[in-house]
Amino acid sequence: MTDTDAARDTIFALSSGSPPAAIAIIRLSGPGAEDAVRALSGTLPQERCAGLRLLRDPVGGAVLDEALVLCFGAQRSVTGEPLIELHCHGGRAVVAAVLAALGRLPDLRSAQPGEFTRRALENGRMDLNAVEGLSDLLRAETEAQRRAAMAMYGGAFTARVDAFQKQALMGAALIEASLDFADEDDVGGEDASLRQARDHLASLAGDMETDLAAPPAERLREGIRLVIAGPVNSGKSTLLNRLAGYEAAIVTDIAGTTRDRIEVPVALGGTAWLLTDTAGFREAGADVVEQIGMDRAREAIAAADLLLWLGDPLDAPRADAILVLSQIDRQDVERTRSHDVAISAQTGEGMDRLTAMLAERATHLLPQDRSYLLSARQRSELGAAVDAIRAALTPRDPLLMAEHVRDALAAFDRLTGRASTEHMLDSLFGGFCIGK
């Protein structure tokens, strides 16, 4: 089956959660959607109006379920083609029976992951940025993630890209003016046009670099990487468990209990964090496995967004580490040691101050003044556009300037999906659920 043939198929899938549930929504999209549902329900309700219908198996006529049927024409559907939803009862047997009946109809097939959304992209109902926003929205676990995903899905970044593109086109028009009307007094001459084009493009590059300077979406999506490090038996694993809210790490009095990194995703104060417990550092007595654990701890420390250091401040591996005086419930702890916060993860003393400190640091790691965050793909393409615009500022030859601006315009098209590779799309939609 070719891609062209597949695009003409009528697809169906369960689009709601796995049964059992109160309601199960089964969607059909494609040129044969209406005929397929007529085969089950006999008649269709008016477009965009719910109608109660008995669903019967086309083979034998057995009643499958009583369901609400909603029809959307191609001009007003999310996929840009005829789309019908069956709102059935959500029992496993009901869903299985309706899906099986649909599967026996000619020219129908089960949808692939993300295929409904892919058709919406291909038919101009969504752009690639909205698709990525929808993907993040489906995975959002914190309020901050939801807000950023909703802004991307709602088109906030696409509107920004459109504005960038219009500015680039204005710069291109000024360059063309210098090429076509260099001898015309009313245009201002070649030098004046090119100077104006350079000023315009320099301003555009600055605007785009402002977006690139914002924290990446991965930090919000995957969590701020908080690494807990220090010498052996300094209370690292106990602190991890206290922050996580459950026993994620083994805690003993034996030095070197933690030999590898332990990563735990948590939500603290509405922000996603990725907590990492590391092997304790010690000068002597470590075996080969523990040495490997310490090497991995150093790698985690280098990659951390925030570091909690539970050891001697003079030994802190990073100048920006939060110095934690831990285990203050013990009598042998030197309370006069320099520290940013003193805690007992065992009793909870000082934990409120620590979490408040983490929340304050998070405000500097996550954007507070913009509605969306850029993914690695978006940052890469926007960075390519910035490089192209910056390159256009250097040459005196307007032909070379125009070529660099065209490169920037191509990057904008890749940002919105007007010029995307199949490999990239396959990777993106492969992460969606079947019914999306």
Amino acid found at 11: I
Q: In whole angstroms, give the CA distance from residue 339 to residue 326.
A: 10
Tokens of 416: 């919105």
Model pLDDT, residue 160? 94
The end-to-end CA distance of the chain, in Å, is: 22
Q: Which residues pair with 53 in a beta bridge?
A: 67
CB 233, CB 253: distance < 8 Å: yes
250 pLDDT above the threshold of 50: yes
CB 139, CB 123: distance < 8 Å: no
DSSP letter at 300 equals H
Tens digit of each residue's pLDDT (9 = 90 or more) over 251-277:
555 554 555 678 898 888 778 899 999
Residues 6+ apart with CB under 8 A from 399: 179
Q: What is the chain's mean pLDDT, rounded?
A: 86
Tens digit of each residue's pLDDT (9 = 90 or more) over 164-217:
999 999 999 888 888 766 555 444 444 688 889 999 999 999 999 999 988 777
312 pLDDT above the threshold of 50: yes
Model pLDDT, residue 187? 44
Tokens of 206: 């600055």
CB 27, CB 84: distance < 8 Å: yes
Residues 6+ apart with CB under 8 A from 185: none
Q: In whole angstroms, give the CA distance from residue 318 to residue 302.
A: 8
- How far lies 364's CA from each of 224, 290, 305, 358, in Å? 11, 34, 11, 10
Tokens of 130: 């909205």
What are the φ and ψ backbone dihedral angles of 131, each rounded to 5 degrees? -60, -45
Strands (E), 361-425: none
